[in-house]
A and B are shown apart, each in its own frame.
Chain A
Amino acid sequence: MFSHLHKWTSSRTLAAPARLFSQTPIVPAKPLPPRLKINDADISISYLKGTGPGGQKINKTNSAVQIIHKPSGVVIKCQATRSQSQNAKIARSLLADRVEAQLNGDNSRVAIKAAAARKKKASKMKKTRRKYRELGEGGKEGEVDVEEEDEVEIIWDEDVKEEKGESKEAESEIGSEAKSAGESGKGV
Chain B
Amino acid sequence: MRSRGYPLQYILGDQPFGDLEILCRRGVLIPRPETESYTYQAAKLLRQMALERKGTSNSPDQARPLRVIDLCTGTGCISLLLHALLAPHFQQLEITGVDISPTALGLAQENLEHNLQLGQLASRAGTDIRFHRADVLGYDSDSSVPSIESILQTKFPNFGTLDALPPDQESGCDLLISNPPYISQREFRNGTTARSVRRFEPKLALVPPYSGSGMEDCMPEDIFYHRILTLAFKLKAKLTVLECGDSHQANRVVALHKRLASAESGQFSADVWPIREQDLADNGFHVTDGSRGVIIQTLR
Majority secondary structure, A binding face: loop
Residue-wise interface mask of A (138-164) relative to B, using a CB-CB cutoff of 8 A (1 in contact, 0 not): 000000000000000000000000000
Q: How far is the CB of B90 from chain A (nearest CB, A)?
A: 21
Given the interface pairs A54-B286, A84-B16, the reply to whether A59 lies near B201 with Cβ below 8 Å is: yes
Q: Which residues of A contact B7 (CB under 8 A)?
A: 59
Q: Which residues of A contact B206 (CB under 8 A)?
A: 56-57
Within 29-64 of A, Cβ neighbours of B (below 8 Å) are at 45-47, 49, 52-63
Which of B2, B245, B282, B283 lies in contact with A185, CB distance below 8 A? B2
Which of A54, A81, A84 lies in contact with B285, CB distance below 8 A? A54
Q: How far is the CB of B58 from chain A (nearest CB, A)?
A: 33
In the complex, the answer to whether A184 meets B16 with C-beta atoms within 8 Å is no
Tally chain A residues at the interface, Cβ within 8 Å: 26
Q: Which residues of B contact A84 (CB under 8 A)?
A: 16, 33, 36, 284
In the complex, the answer to whether A53 meets B290 with C-beta atoms within 8 Å is yes
**Which single residue of chain A is at the shortest CB-CB distance from B290?**
A53
Within 83-120 of A, Cβ neighbours of B (below 8 Å) are at 83-86
In the complex, the answer to whether B194 meets A59 with C-beta atoms within 8 Å is yes
Q: Is B131 at the interface (CB under 8 A from chain A)?
A: no
In the complex, the answer to whether A188 meets B286 with C-beta atoms within 8 Å is no
Q: How far is the CA of A76 from the CA of B246 in the complex (A)?
A: 30
Q: How far is the CB of B81 from chain A (nearest CB, A)?
A: 11
The A/B interface has a contact count, at CB < 8 Å, of 104
Q: Of residues A56, A61, A85, A185, which shows the largest number of chain B Cβ atoms within 10 Å of its Cβ?
A: A56
Tally chain B residues at the interface, Cβ within 8 Å: 43
Which of A54, A82, A86, A188 lies in contact with B291, CB distance below 8 A? A54
Q: Which residues of A contact B36 (CB under 8 A)?
A: 84
Q: Which residues of B contact A49 (CB under 8 A)?
A: 284-286
Q: Is B123 at the interface (CB under 8 A from chain A)?
A: no
Q: Which residues of A contact B182 (CB under 8 A)?
A: 56
In the complex, the answer to whether A59 meets B196 with C-beta atoms within 8 Å is yes
Within 188-215 of B, Cβ neighbours of A (below 8 Å) are at 192-197, 201, 205-206
Q: Of residues A45, A52, A63, A84, which shows the largest number of chain B Cβ atoms within 10 Å of its Cβ?
A: A84
Q: How far is the CA of A45 from the CA of B5 in the complex (A)?
A: 31
Q: How far is the CA of A62 from the CA of B4 in the complex (A)?
A: 19
Q: How far is the CA of A85 from the CA of B283 in the complex (A)?
A: 12
In the complex, the answer to whether A55 meets B243 with C-beta atoms within 8 Å is yes
**5 intermolecular pairs with C-beta atoms under 8 Å apart:** A56-B206, A56-B245, A61-B9, A83-B19, A185-B5
List the 10 closest A-B pairs by CB distance, nearest first.
Answer: A55-B291, A53-B290, A83-B16, A47-B284, A53-B289, A57-B193, A54-B290, A188-B5, A53-B286, A58-B194
Residues of A within 8 A of B (CB): 45-47, 49, 52-63, 81-86, 181, 184-185, 188
Residues of B within 8 A of A (CB): 2-5, 7-9, 15-16, 18-19, 29-30, 32-34, 36, 179, 181-183, 187, 192-197, 201, 205-206, 243, 245-246, 281-286, 289-291
